[in-house]
Amino acid sequence: MNIRSGTRTLLALAVALLLPVACATSPTGGGTNMDTMLLADSEPGGSDGGESMPPTAVRAATPAMDKAALPVKQEAHHGKSADEIARELANPNNSLASLTFKNQFRWYNGDLPGAGDQFSFTTLFQPVFPFKLEPTSSGGTANLFIRPAFPFLFDQPVPTATATGLQYNDTTAIGDIGFDIGYGVTEKNGLLWALGMVGTLPTATDSAVAGKQFRLGPEALIAKFEKWGVYGLFPSHQWDVTGWGGGSFSTSQLQGVLKFLPGGGWNVGTSPIMNYDWANNQWSIPLNLTVGKTVTLGSTPVKLELEVNYYVKQIDAFGPECMIGINITPVVNNFIEGWIRGN
């Protein structure tokens, strides 16, 4: 990575880290109505702790704020402690409105020459504003959720064949927007389930990282919430529906979730996102470790999380070998639901 690219990446990281802090401490960011209903803080196709690499690069080849002034507390927030909020956020079917900023550093490898020298930085912004529905006949709490995910790519290496050989063009752009729409239920016995659809919109601002397809498919969740934590599976699949890009797209995704809640707002666990590309018969399988803590900044709960992925199986030609993520999730007021309900 050259000095110019490194400078852009550091500036992007500074903005990505300071922006959620500004959101968390702004007048519109707090005052959440913390109720007992529980929906997911995951990115489309997976719960929190996983990562989604922009796939199109592979297919192309084959205001400032003093943090020290912010009090970090473990006090109650509207009657709930940071630990209680951490437990709600750990539920893949929670009903808390949140703004997730996933800041991901990737190192690459592969069969292509120079693949091991490549690096990128991505910020994935995912706002979640669930809509609480009537309880189910069995007494479970239910939510409707729509979760978009906006990827901002910085120095994304795109392998390109030239007359003099292979070169990597560092591309900075907004990537294709992902989303999922679903219906999730938390039963009284702790059983969690959800059904919905997941998709991708061809919105990239640079053709080098554009999928050029509208993709859509089903998703599901089956999990169990216990006193010690949560475990479950989150499968999904996407096909290309229409678009102007050549080739077909058919990829399955499976995320396993195992998360322990030892108390004090902490969470420790793993939630790897495994992908299988049916068009090219290739797996992407990471080992994942996630450690997080929910604290209170001012009056706003914020989940701070560190995750590491190491890929034991990746796309042969060019793919991520390692990913380190810093995730920041302020819990905010669900003004969208309030507006719809006329509150």
Domains, the chain = 3-341 (2.40.160.40)
**DSSP-derived secondary structure for 56-68:** HHHHHH-----GG
**In 3-state terms, what secondary structure has residue 25?**
helix
Question: What pLDDT is attached to residue 13?
Answer: 54
Q: Using an 8 Å Cβ cutoff, are 207 and 175 in contact?
A: no
Average confidence (pLDDT) over 149-172:
94
Indicate if the pLDDT at residue 73 is higher than 50: no
Residue 1 has pLDDT above 60, yes or no: no
Q: What is the pLDDT of residues 274-290, one digit of tens each?
A: 999 999 999 999 999 99
Which residues, listed in sequence order, are joined to residue 225 by a DSSP beta bridge?
A: 230
Residues 41-71 have pLDDT tens digits of 333 333 343 444 444 444 433 333 333 333 3
Q: Which residue(s) pair with 266 in the sheet?
A: 263, 293
Q: How much is the pLDDT for 34?
A: 29
Between 53 and 145, the more confident residue is: 145
Res. 11: pLDDT tops 60 = no
Tokens of 27: 């007048």
Query: Model confidence at 342, in pLDDT bands (50, 70, 90)?
Result: confident
Residue spans of alpha helices (H) in 117-165: none
pTM: 0.79
* 31: confidence class by pLDDT, cuts 50, 70, 90: very low
